[in-house]
Copies of this chain bind each other. A is one copy, B any other.
Amino acid sequence: MTVAPHRAPLVFADLDAALTALRQRGLRVSAARRAVLERLFTAEGPLSAEEIAHGGPETAERVDLASVYRNLEALEELGLVGHVHLGHGPGRYALASEGEQEYLVCERCDAVRSAAPAELEGVRRDIEGRFGYRARFGHFPIVGLCPRCVAAADANAPS
């Protein structure tokens, strides 16, 4: 299985700081690379490459999908970006953060809840104690029903 590389995350306060850092590393900041980073800095959660290519404000530079993928790959290689699998679809990308984010995803309504790793320490300890596996949910999340879909399922269950 290929896994998301565990690079040291490169975290920047804003787009300008990220662009400056790229230039300091001698990397060219193309219009496409700038547009990809811009979308990630304004995103509220992990985005698919499609969403990055087609989303963004009307005035934004259009970026073709292949170019989005190439840039995401380069930025992931550098440690600025990471990806997570939130279901059957393609991976979703987000800026690297200081603490790895972990995720819970609803398989019915696609709700996503992020969690700090500390919140999942008890779960991780329990799994490692019982199975010897050391789980992490930042790349492949916990999948199940969200609270709203649990309530709906329980209401419909035969009593």
Contacts and interface: CB of A to CB of B under 8 A. Distances in A.
Interface of A: 1-3, 85-89, 104-108, 110, 113, 115, 119, 122-123, 126-128, 130-137, 139-147, 150, 153
Given A1-B88, A107-B1, A143 B134 contact: no
Given A115-B131, A128-B150, 16 more contacts: A1-B86, A1-B87, A1-B106, A3-B107, A3-B108, A87-B140, A104-B127, A104-B133, A106-B133, A119-B130, A123-B127, A132-B146, A133-B144, A134-B144, A136-B143, A142-B142
B143 A110 contact: no
Rank and list the top 3 A-B pairs by shortest CB-CB distance, nearest first.
Answer: A132-B147, A1-B87, A135-B144
